[in-house]
């Protein structure tokens, strides 16, 4: 083979005349990439815009996969060792050591960036959901090359597997202690709300219908903000936070709320109010996010929706497994209601403060007994699928949600899954970003209440805001300082179809 022949000359350039083709546009930036993909090309490894993946160095995905998840897992191992040291029964001790060994193995897989293997059949009902998705879309993929949201969810499912194959520790929650402790450290904000809402609220005497509506609307807007900003207390991000930092995040005072409204970058609160005031005793759903203080804020909001008569029944959707550190499980739900009614969590509180929390706890447990508040935990919420796939992968759940008059999705992770966690431009409409959940017949109205704690940002009326913040406030997408309240009308009332 001849290489590097000094006498060789580059071939003469062949110039083709393009005079009969359409002219080049003068503004080349007007040529946009072909996103979102056409529906037939969207799948968990190919979201509608480019996916965030762990191997994108300098991204939050990279920092999470490389640093935050190993730290979280390390803390989970320490928690389990603490529990081990409290045991006396040999069989249980040996069984728990097996769990710790499996967690250490998971730590190795994560830090060595191993290939994502199928989940071991531990008898859980979600095995087909997980292993079908791994086999179809992630064969040979590793923690860093799979889309971030999938890889992260997979890690939490693998963490559950460390316990679910054991004899005595199937339901052990490595995050339970942390969740309880953070709520116990939230005294100021907890009593700020309990003392205001213990007694059933009244709108003041002598108001005419318009004034009543105004008063109700003002209360609705403040409570929506409380429910929204309750999401900024997220344990997975609080690893290094001081008590003061937490208090600042949880501040619920009026001035603080006025100041924070301007940090809601996409704000459909007016449309949300129009919808809520027309509900007239309808059904509202909350797809929950974090336990403890955020759940407490959700319950205050849900209490308002019941007392105002807007809703007559509220369904709360929690997680079946310990998930993303602080997500609500049934145990967290029970713990919070019972702690409000019976707990002695807070030192140095007045009798009336304690009483106010008890009253709330009693009323809320009453709602549960009367069937006004219903707690549910569908396996789909702890799968690796984005919510674009809810209709196909959990048709029963889609049908169930289609009966709701309004579904709130709380928090950052739910928002990532609604929007397929991909790099959609910030000006993309919320409806476009959530795809099938906005456009399928029977899709319920959906409201995302989320403080921004990761890369995906959509629904900003002015896309330039994101560019400005990128320039002026690096890190604005993970700080939790900004938020969105976005509403999709859906197609309620239309018959749900399955192919």
Ligand X SMILES: O=P(O)(O)OC[C@@]1(O)O[C@H](CO)[C@@H](O)[C@@H]1O
Applying CB under 6 A, the residues found at the interface with ligand X are 64, 68, 152, 231, 234, 236-237, 289-290, 324, 411-413, 416, 453-454
Spatial separation of the C-alpha atoms in residues 82 and 87, rounded to whole Å: 9
- CB 345 → ligand X: shortest distance, Å? 22
The residue among 235 and 284 lying less far from ligand X, judged by its C-beta, is: 235
Spatial separation of the C-alpha atoms in residues 344 and 207, rounded to whole Å: 40
- CB 293 → ligand X: shortest distance, Å? 12
Assigned token pair, 470? 């990128």
Given the structure tokens 């290939």, which residue do they identify?
Answer: 115
**Helix or strand holding residue 53 (H, E):** none
402: Cβ contacts below 8 Å, ≥ 6 apart:
442, 443, 444, 492, 496
Residue 198 DSSP one-character state: S
Spatial separation of the C-alpha atoms in residues 326 and 485, rounded to whole Å: 22
The residue among 65 and 300 lying less far from ligand X, judged by its C-beta, is: 65
- CB 70 → ligand X: shortest distance, Å? 12
Spatial separation of the C-alpha atoms in residues 209 and 156, rounded to whole Å: 50
Whole-angstrom CA distances from 320 to 133, 157, 177, 227, 388 are: 19, 11, 17, 22, 20
- CB 231 → ligand X: shortest distance, Å? 5
Whole-angstrom CA distances from 116 to 27, 178, 442 are: 44, 28, 35
The residue among 234 and 431 lying less far from ligand X, judged by its C-beta, is: 234
Spatial separation of the C-alpha atoms in residues 452 and 480, rounded to whole Å: 5
Spatial separation of the C-alpha atoms in residues 372 and 309, rounded to whole Å: 12
- CB 415 → ligand X: shortest distance, Å? 8
The residue among 224 and 290 lying less far from ligand X, judged by its C-beta, is: 290
The residue among 186 and 356 lying less far from ligand X, judged by its C-beta, is: 186
- CB 302 → ligand X: shortest distance, Å? 18
The residue among 149 and 216 lying less far from ligand X, judged by its C-beta, is: 149
CB atoms within 10 A of CB 292: 26
CB atoms within 10 A of CB 82: 10
- CB 168 → ligand X: shortest distance, Å? 29
The residue among 215 and 237 lying less far from ligand X, judged by its C-beta, is: 237
Spatial separation of the C-alpha atoms in residues 373 and 469, rounded to whole Å: 40
- CB 160 → ligand X: shortest distance, Å? 16
476: Cβ contacts below 8 Å, ≥ 6 apart:
452, 469, 470, 482
- CB 61 → ligand X: shortest distance, Å? 9
8 Å CB contact between 198 and 99: no
Residue 231 DSSP one-character state: G
The residue among 437 and 440 lying less far from ligand X, judged by its C-beta, is: 437
- CB 234 → ligand X: shortest distance, Å? 4
Given the structure tokens 């005079």, which residue do they identify?
Answer: 19
- CB 470 → ligand X: shortest distance, Å? 18
3: Cβ contacts below 8 Å, ≥ 6 apart:
none
- CB 424 → ligand X: shortest distance, Å? 15
Spatial separation of the C-alpha atoms in residues 186 and 74, rounded to whole Å: 25
Assigned token pair, 353? 């403060």
Strand 373-376 relative to strand 406-410, pairing: unpaired
Distance of CA 180 to the CA centre of its chain: 19
Spatial separation of the C-alpha atoms in residues 237 and 326, rounded to whole Å: 10
The residue among 287 and 466 lying less far from ligand X, judged by its C-beta, is: 287
The residue among 172 and 175 lying less far from ligand X, judged by its C-beta, is: 175
- CB 317 → ligand X: shortest distance, Å? 14
Please choose, from the candidates 16, 52, 29, 96, the residue with its C-alpha nearest in 3D space to the C-alpha of residue 420.
52
The residue among 173 and 234 lying less far from ligand X, judged by its C-beta, is: 234
The residue among 52 and 191 lying less far from ligand X, judged by its C-beta, is: 52
First-residue to last-residue Cα distance in the chain: 58
Say if residue 163 is exposed, middle or buried (CB neighbours under 10 Å; 0-12, 13-18, 19+). Answer: buried
The residue among 335 and 346 lying less far from ligand X, judged by its C-beta, is: 335
């Amino acid at each position: 083979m001849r290489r590097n022949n000094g006498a060789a000359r580059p071939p003469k350039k062949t110039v083709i005349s393009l005079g009969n083709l359409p002219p080049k546009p003068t503004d080349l930036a007007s040529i946009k990439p072909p996103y979102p993909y056409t529906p037939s090309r969207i799948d968990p490894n190919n979201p509608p815009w480019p996916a965030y993946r762990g191997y994108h160095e300098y991204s939050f995905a990279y920092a999470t996969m490389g640093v935050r998840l190993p730290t979280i897992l390390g803390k989970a191992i320490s928690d389990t060792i603490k529990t081990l040291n409290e045991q006396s029964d040999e069989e249980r001790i040996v069984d728990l050591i097996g769990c710790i060994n499996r967690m250490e193995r998971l730590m190795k897989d994560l830090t060595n960036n191993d290939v994502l293997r199928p989940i071991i059949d531990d008898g859980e009902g979600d095995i087909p959901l997980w292993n079908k998705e791994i086999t179809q879309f992630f064969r040979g993929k590793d923690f860093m090359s799979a889309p971030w949201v999938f890889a992260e969810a997979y890690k939490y499912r693998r963490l559950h597997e460390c316990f679910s194959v054991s004899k005595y520790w199937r339901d052990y929650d490595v995050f339970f202690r942390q969740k309880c402790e953070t709520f116990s450290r939230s005294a100021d904000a907890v009593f700020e709300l309990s003392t205001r809402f213990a007694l059933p609220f009244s709108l003041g005497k002598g108001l005419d219908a318009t004034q009543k509506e105004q008063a109700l609307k003002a209360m609705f807007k403040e409570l929506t903000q409380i429910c929204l900003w309750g999401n900024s207390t997220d344990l997975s991000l609080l690893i290094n936070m001081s008590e003061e930092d937490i208090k600042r995040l949880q501040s619920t005072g009026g001035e603080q709320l006025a100041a924070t409204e301007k940090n809601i970058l996409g704000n459909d609160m007016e449309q949300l109010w129009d919808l809520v005031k027309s509900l007239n005793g309808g059904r509202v759903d909350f797809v929950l996010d974090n336990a403890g203080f955020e759940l407490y804020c959700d319950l205050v909001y849900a209490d308002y929706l019941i007392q105002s008569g807007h809703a007559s029944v509220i369904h709360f959707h929690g997680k079946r497994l310990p998930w993303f550190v602080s997500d609500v499980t049934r145990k967290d739900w029970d713990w919070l209601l019972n702690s409000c009614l019976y707990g002695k969590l807070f030192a140095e509180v007045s009798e009336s403060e304690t009483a106010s929390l008890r009253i709330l706890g009693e009323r809320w447990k009453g709602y549960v007994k009367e069937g006004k508040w219903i707690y549910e935990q569908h396996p789909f919420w702890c799968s690796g699928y984005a919510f674009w796939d809810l209709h196909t992968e959990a048709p029963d759940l889609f049908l169930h949600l289609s009966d709701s008059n309004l579904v709130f999705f709380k928090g950052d992770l739910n928002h990532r899954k609604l929007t397929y966690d991909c790099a959609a431009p910030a000006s993309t409409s919320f409806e476009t970003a959530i795809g099938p959940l906005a456009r399928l017949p029977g899709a319920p109205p959906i409201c995302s209440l989320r403080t921004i704690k990761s890369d995906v940002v959509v629904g900003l009326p002015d896309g330039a805001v994101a560019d400005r913040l990128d320039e002026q406030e690096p890190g604005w997408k993970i700080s939790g300082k900004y938020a969105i309240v976005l509403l999709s009308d859906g197609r309620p009332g239309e018959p749900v179809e399955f192919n």
